[in-house]
């Protein structure tokens, strides 16, 4: 029987070829893992999934698995009831777009953009909506000077909190409204602020700043009125802010 000839000196062993194929497959696998690790473009990812399903002949089902992946990977995940809107929605506080006009184009949407606190919160005595002497001084020196001469819109927001605020017979919403109204009236009557620059908002007991005060009685910091400056100009919201009798 003849002997098998020895391999040539420059021949590659067969196991090296197999090893190289395995390494190539592993490299492609990890590249795909890195590519799909973050779903930055869910629309394009959905197209890829649809193409794979079509190629494999998969039918039926829904996108609940994809939604779960998107929700798990996104820091801005929304509740289940709003998953379908998560790709389209943007936070109005992060953009500078014009407000959307209604079908009748007679009103505008709520204020867009950021808000800045003017002065400092004005605390109130429990169950009261009367301004203290310190409140009046703060309004004259810290708040009114920033509003006079400005063309921005300012929000005056009233707050209430705790069982002490209910002893006067008013609900949290009613008391919050009267506190904010008292500040607005003082700004207009005593500080000569243009009323068109002010908007009155009511928070009731929904925005406390000190929850630890529940045990020892409601803290005065939660019974307050805040004044904010917005990014919106009064001319963008009012057709005739100067009262000239002419529309824009």
What digits encode the pLDDT tens for the residues 24-54? 999 998 888 887 766 556 677 777 778 887 7
**pLDDT score for 147:** 93
Label residues 118-130 b or e (16+ Cβ within 10 Å = b).
bbebbbbebbbbe
In the chain, pLDDT over 70 holds for what percent of residues?
Answer: 61
3-state helix, strand, coil in the chain (%, to 5): 45, 10, 45
In angstroms, the CA 161 to CA 121 distance is: 14
Region 115-237: CATH code: 3.30.1330.60
Residue 230 has pLDDT above 60, yes or no: yes
In angstroms, the CA 20 to CA 195 distance is: 78
Label residues 137-155 b or e (16+ Cβ within 10 Å = b).
ebbeeebbebbeebebbbb
Q: Where are the domains of the chain?
A: 14-85, 115-237
Provide the strand spans (E) within the chain: 115-117, 122-123, 152-159, 198-204, 224-233
Instruction: Return the bridge partners of 198, or none.
Output: 154
**pLDDT score for 69:** 45
pTM over 0.75: no
DSSP assignment of 94-134: G--PPPPP-SS-S---SPPS-EEE-S--EE--TT--PPPHH
More confident residue, 241 or 71: 241
Encode pLDDT of 117-175 as tens digits.
888 899 999 999 999 999 999 999 999 999 998 889 999 999 999 899 989 899 999 99
Contact 31, 66 (CB under 8 A): no
């Amino acid at each position: 029987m003849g002997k098998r000839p020895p391999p040539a000196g420059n021949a590659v062993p067969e196991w090296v070829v197999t090893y190289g194929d395995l390494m190539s497959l592993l490299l492609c696998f990890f590249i795909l893992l890195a590519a799909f690790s973050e779903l930055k473009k869910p629309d394009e990812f959905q197209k890829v999934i649809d193409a794979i399903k079509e190629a494999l002949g998969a039918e039926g089902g829904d996108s609940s698995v994809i939604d779960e992946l998107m929700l798990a990977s996104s820091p801005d995940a929304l509740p289940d009831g709003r998953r379908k809107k998560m790709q389209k929605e943007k936070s109005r506080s992060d953009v500078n777009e014009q407000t959307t006009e209604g079908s009748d184009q007679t009103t505008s949407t709520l204020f867009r953009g950021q808000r800045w606190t003017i002065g400092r919160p004005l605390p109130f005595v429990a169950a009261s909506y009367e301004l203290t002497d310190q409140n009046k001084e703060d309004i004259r020196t810290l708040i009114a000077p920033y509003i006079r001469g400005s063309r921005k819109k300012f929000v005056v927001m009233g707050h209430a909190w705790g069982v002490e605020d209910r002893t006067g017979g008013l609900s949290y919403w009613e008391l919050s409204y009267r506190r904010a109204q008292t500040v607005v009236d003082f700004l207009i009557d005593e500080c000569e602020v243009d009323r068109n620059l002010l908007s009155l908002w009511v928070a009731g007991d929904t925005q406390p700043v000190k929850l630890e005060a529940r045990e020892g009685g409601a803290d005065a910091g939660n019974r307050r009125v805040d004044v904010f400056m917005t990014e919106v100009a009064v001319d963008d919201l009012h057709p005739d802010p100067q009262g000239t009798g002419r529309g824009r």
